[in-house]
Amino acid sequence: MTTPKAIFAGSLFFLGLAACEPVPGTGGSTGVNSITVPESVSSIAASFQDLSTARVKQEDGCYWYTHRGPVETTELPLRTTNGNPICVRPADS
């Protein structure tokens, strides 16, 4: 009769160990090449944005940052206090 209890206890043990595994994208290295934002950019960026995750996307030449909300993690364009996107090259017309 101890065998079913041992199997159940062993299963719970391994399930408990799985809870110790870090979840990808919730901290530490995100696998994205972050850069140090120049002072000229950080001085015009709105204060609620995470500048530590900011980087320039090759597709549009604009700064983007990672917003970690209570439900999901989203890539958002870095914006000025007026709401304008911050880019290093003009947008294609």
pLDDT tens for the chain, 93 residues: list them. Answer: 567 777 766 666 666 555 554 444 444 444 444 567 899 999 999 999 999 999 999 899 999 999 999 999 999 999 999 999 999 976 665
**CA-to-CA distance for 25 and 68, rounded, in angstroms?**
10
| Dihedral of the alpha carbons of 32, 33, 36, 41, in degrees to the nearest 10 | -70
Angle at the Cα of 78 from the Cα atoms of 76 and 84, rounded to 5 degrees: 110
Domain ranges of the chain: 34-93
Residue whose token pair is 């090759």: 58
**What pTM did the predictor assign?**
0.59
pLDDT (tens digit, 9 = 90+) per residue, 60-85? 999 999 999 999 999 999 999 999 99
